[in-house]
Structure 1
Amino acid sequence: VNTYWHSNTFLTLKRANRWFPVIEPILEKHGIPEDFKYLAIIESGLTNAVSPAGATGYWQFMKTTGKSYGLEVNSEVDERYHVVKATEAACKYLTDAYMKYGNWALVAASYNMGMGGLNSKLDHQKVNSYWDLLLNSETGRYVYRILAVKEIMSNRDDYGFVIDEKELYSPYETKVIEVSEPVADLAQWALDNNINYKILKTLNPWLRSKSLTNSSRKTYEFIVPVDSNFE
């Protein structure tokens, strides 16, 4: 972590104020240490990023991995962009990894390089500790990066990241509307529900098309603002 990347770090601090209150209770519900919220920062900077390899969302799921952990991924719906559902899926992965390794540092390493890759390293080197493993440079510094981000974000003033509380992004105040029917035109649906298409897509980035076929009549939860003065 480079403390001179001030502009990016300030943005991350602002985003964390909005999204950590969403992520933290999900981690707690699944018995995952709260420090894993910093893993999401390492992965995506708390944005719906897409990597060159195709890893997507706050938790950077590949398509096949996301599906294997219960996320819907198709041309109209991609729940890797759904912060709550992607966090739930990440917790399932982290739980599986902890059941296998019994050690949270190894769990974090596996998130970066995959369980198969980590298993190979552990077997070959005949050790059972992350700190004793010879790893590629990215995974070798991965846990240290998480710890460094925690240190900086927990003591931001000490590292020169002085920010007024009023500048932090506030959590969205939202409610849910259940939708079980096809939606031919999401822009029209938005207008019918007293918002606009931009707001709908901002709060529901997992909606990847202009419509929702929903031939199975699955119930989706559309997130909309409580207040019409949404910004």
Structure 2
Amino acid sequence: MKKIAFALAAVAVVAGFALGAAWYRQSRSSALEAVARDRAALFVRLHSPVRGAADARVDLVEFTDPACETCAAFAPILEQLLARHPGRVRLVVRYAPLHEGADEVARVLEAARLQGKFWEALHLLYRTQHVWTAHHRVYMESVWQVLPQIGLDMERLRADFADPAVAAVVAQDLADARELGVQKTPGIFVDGRPLEPFGVDPLVALVDAAVRARYPG
């Protein structure tokens, strides 16, 4: 009788352990999925401007400062990468205004996005950096002077520029950049992997490798 009782107790312990292990695995899996979702949000937010196919499997994420000369120099390279892998890579741009006064320029870009003119405004400001920034300083009066040429509703632009919701978007992007360790711009990630070492050739190699991994065969 004692042997039977012991055997039943042993079975109960094993069953309990199995159930506990299953619960732990499920809890850990759920926790890891939550972490993955949270980390994914650091790269792409609902407000983030996206260029390229919506169903592209490779994310090329750039944290940019509109006053950054290197960011302006990399803009055509990023466009070339989209053309190099049509339909397979999407470009996501985030705000990381590290220069003094660049947060206001980022707010201008976000206000332009609300009019469907983000990309036109971004490329315009890159092309005209010599007009509105010098010696690591931003001259906002010059920023406002160049913007009308892309057909923006300037009255609405100024109103949206002053909207706290627009400032909150820029602040969120900057917080994400800092969380990801971005200390200079452009901060570039390909499917979550940082561009290291920094350079055109490493970037091309990183994107090509991501495309091969996401589109085998």
TM-score by structure 1 length? 0.31
> Which has more strand, going by share of residues?
2
> Which has more helix, going by share of residues?
2
TM-score by structure 2 length? 0.32
Q: Which has the higher contact order (CA 8 A, sep 6+)?
A: 2
